[in-house]
Amino acid sequence: MKYDVIVIGSGPGGYIAAVRASQLGQKVAIIEKYATLGGTCLNVGCIPSKALLDSSHHYYDAVKHFEEHGILVDTPKIDFPKMIERKAKVVEQTTGGIKYLMDKNKIDVYEGLGSFVDATNVKVTKNDGSEETIEGTNIIIATGSKPSTLPFISLDKERIITSTEALKLPEIPKHLLVIGGGVIGLELGSVYKRLGADVSVIEYMDKIVPGMDTDVSKELQKVLKKQGVKFFTSHGVSSVERNGDEITVKATNKKGAEVEFKGDYCLVSVGRRPYTDGLGLDNAGVKVNERGQVEINDHLQTNIPNIYAIGDVVKGAMLAHKAEEEGVVTAEFIAGQKPHIDYNLIPGIVYTWPEVAAVGKTEQELKDAGVDYKAGKFSMRALGRSRASGDIDGFVKVLADKNTDEVLGVHIVGARAADLIMEAAVAMEYRASAEDLARICHGHPTYSEAVKEAAKAAWDGKPLNA
């Protein structure tokens, strides 16, 4: 069978690329080695983790906050298997939605491992061992990523686990040790802390979420510490051992002393690696770099012009929405259009509570680049909406060019930050100034007023409610 476009991988990047290509009149096939579509994000990533984050948030509120709202209930109890079952249903519904999109857009779905025969032919090895080869004028690699580990850690996937296993544990841990203070570790650590586990986060760097603005990192650590999460930054893990149901993690602190941690589960969340296993890139002559990422140009083409690569398998942040945008751009480029993607305006989000979201440059990046900038900051505590809901932790920080007032970065810690950040992304897409944001009438009372106030603080240094 011959296709205009073959997509290998059905995650957010792959299935969106397939849909967009079909919308633009291409004959499309998609290859997925697992029984369900949607890739890591929908099956063992974004969607199931958010389902557990929401469920655990409801429980935490019932235990910690209902009474202050005048809601008196008997001591809430956790039906953990029910919580996991609900998560599974959410995943099932979502992946089923992808199957519907494939059918709606007349995209042929091949279940099996896709591997290059050459630059235009892809072999599909099915689970029963049978093989089928299909031909594509254009081929898009969207095979995503897998959890990374450290060379000395042996993952047994029972008690020394990755994020995949953390989403389907048979019980709530008594003490969850989390190696890595990045997004995944903090989100899953938050889930189990809310449900009653002790949680210790062991991070090699001197701050959590190291790639985010320093003020954001400090605020998030302060808030999560208040919720009971323990942090051990500047700790380099040297060994992880299991003895029965007990896990021992040894690490060296910043003073050079060895420290020992004990728990019943250890989540290894030290990042993810591009996944190209079994893809047969050599057969097509596709190059990868020293980090295992598929090399691409500005049009997401590999060194073989008819082969493209998107998402976690290429350079850049490993984010589902980044992969989606790359999928759209690739499909449109193949169809002869001239799309664009601004990587500076891809938001980063942490779905703890409060949430964390950022777009554009951090203060440190502006300092390192020698940019003359100004900053405006506004506390969520000063908002009427925050006081009404009880979500008073966090702030909005707006960074703007000191000479032109153009918004260069926005950083938020607070309730619904994941949604609020899109106001900043839209503004920055149109190169808005801090004054522009400050002069837009925002509804009252809303969390979004903090964006307006922070923008005014950056523009003229005079927020109205602080």
DSSP string of 185-230, one letter each residue: HHHHHHHHHHTT-EEEEE-SSSSSSTTS-HHHHHHHHHHHHHTT-E
Helix (H, G, I), strand (E, B) or coil at 405: coil
Q: Does the N-terminal peptide bond of residue 210 adopt cis geometry, omega within 30 degrees of 0?
A: no
Single-letter code of the amino acid located at 257: A
**CB–CB of 454/397 below 8 Å?**
yes
Cα 300 to chain center, whole Å?
21
- Burial per residue of 426-440, b for 16 or more beta-carbon CB atoms within 10 angstroms, e otherwise: ebbeeebbbbbbbee
Cross-strand partners of 440: none
**CB–CB of 265/178 below 8 Å?**
no
Q: How far apart are CA 25 and CA 106, in angstroms?
A: 11
The percent of the chain in helix, strand and coil, each rounded to the nearest 5, is 35, 25, 40
Q: Please give the structure tokens belonging to residue 92.
A: 């099932």
**CB–CB of 110/14 below 8 Å?**
no
Q: Look up 442 and say whether it is catalytic.
A: no
Choose, from 58, 65, 69, 444, the residue flagged as catalytic: 444
Helix (H, G, I), strand (E, B) or coil at 28: strand
Q: How far apart are CA 175 and CA 161, in angstroms?
A: 14
User: Which residues are catalytic, by number?
Assistant: 444
